[in-house]
Amino acid sequence: MRALHVPAAGQAPQLAELPIPEVTDGQVLIRVKAAGLNPLDNGVAAGALTGMLPHEYPLILGRDAAGVVEAVGAGVEHVQPGDEVIGHVLLAPPIRQGTLAEFALLPAEAVALKPAGLSFAAAAALPLAGAAAVATIDAVDAQPGQVVLVNGATGGVGSFAVQLLAARGVTVVATGTATDAERLSQLGATTVVDHTGEPVAEQVRAVYPDGVDALIDLASTDAATAPLGAVRKGGRVAALSSVAGLEDALAEAGLTGGGLLARAAREVTGPLAEQAADGSLAVDVTTVLPFDRATEGLAALAAGHARGKTVITIQD
């Protein structure tokens, strides 16, 4: 099968032939139709997780996919060969399997049936970003009537977080440039704050002088520049990227929360796929590329200015 993989530690990814993985207990082998990209894919390719989890090579890139079940391992009962599914390769030792391949081996706990009304491309865009949006919303315990700031709202996770918050009856303040305002409003944002202008916290306080109830931060890397000042005392913060000094800064500001790791298990992705199929959740796929241009998609994502999701078409 063709797979975009890192042949050995430190080497550049290449699209070349590898053996089809053999299905093992508790695993599902799928014929991949489409694979969604995430910033994590670039991190894995660069070896960013080598200190955390063992890696085995050749290492196939990509975590999200949609496709058709080819075979199931012992103990897998909720899907069978021929089913159309959406799935994710959970972060577990060793890091080796991936979805940027004609066939992918996925843990059964992260494989859900794909509703018929959802395209493979939209389904492939959902798992990690959708699950991460749900995880951050749960972490800040966003309630109807509250105001939540989503910092980094324009990318993959933000596109889902803004919609899911608005659907809960939460007032959403989203960051984005002037050209993003219309798109973010359509997704459900009430106020759009330009993060390339004045400090975000100041702009938010100009509209909400008492501060917002919570911050979902998808963009900050340092607490010193994170818009913590937008949040009222006692408010909550959930961050997805690694934010230096966050714990101390939260304590100092009288806020609670911290960083978290999302898990795209089927209990989360299945219901999101149903919502996407019934039209209550839009999957904002902004770029679709053929398999032989997957590295272009990864490079664009690495540049840090994604809008919505990028999906790679693997097989017809």
Residues that bind ligand NAP (CB under 6 A): 38-40, 128-129, 132, 151-152, 154-158, 175, 177, 195, 218-219, 240-241, 261-262, 301, 304-306
Q: CA-CA distance, 108 to 77, in Å (whole number)? A: 9
| Residue placing its CB nearer to ligand NAP in the complex, 21 or 257 | 257
Smaller CB separation from ligand NAP, 162 or 255: 162
C-beta nearest to ligand NAP: residue: 155
Least separation in angstroms between CB 284 and ligand NAP: 10
Nearer to ligand NAP, 241 or 315 (CB): 241
Neighbouring residues of 40: CB distance < 8 A, sequence distance ≥ 6: 63, 128
Minimal distance in Å, beta carbon 279 to ligand NAP? 22
**Number of CB atoms found within 10 A of residue 254's CB:** 11
Q: Where are the beta strands (DSSP E) in 170-314?
A: 171-175, 191-193, 212-217, 231-239, 256-259, 285-290, 309-313
Specify the residue, 50 or 80, whose C-beta has the smaller distance to ligand NAP.
50
To ligand NAP, the closest distance from the beta carbon of 115 in angstroms equals 23
Nearest-approach distance from CB 74 to ligand NAP, in angstroms:
29
Are 135 and 43 within 8 A, CB to CB?
no
Nearer to ligand NAP, 286 or 315 (CB): 286
- Shortest distance, CB of residue 265 to ligand NAP, whole angstroms? 12
Q: Where are the beta strands (DSSP E) in the chain?
A: 2-6, 14-17, 27-36, 59-60, 64-72, 84-88, 103-107, 111-113, 147-151, 171-175, 191-193, 212-217, 231-239, 256-259, 285-290, 309-313
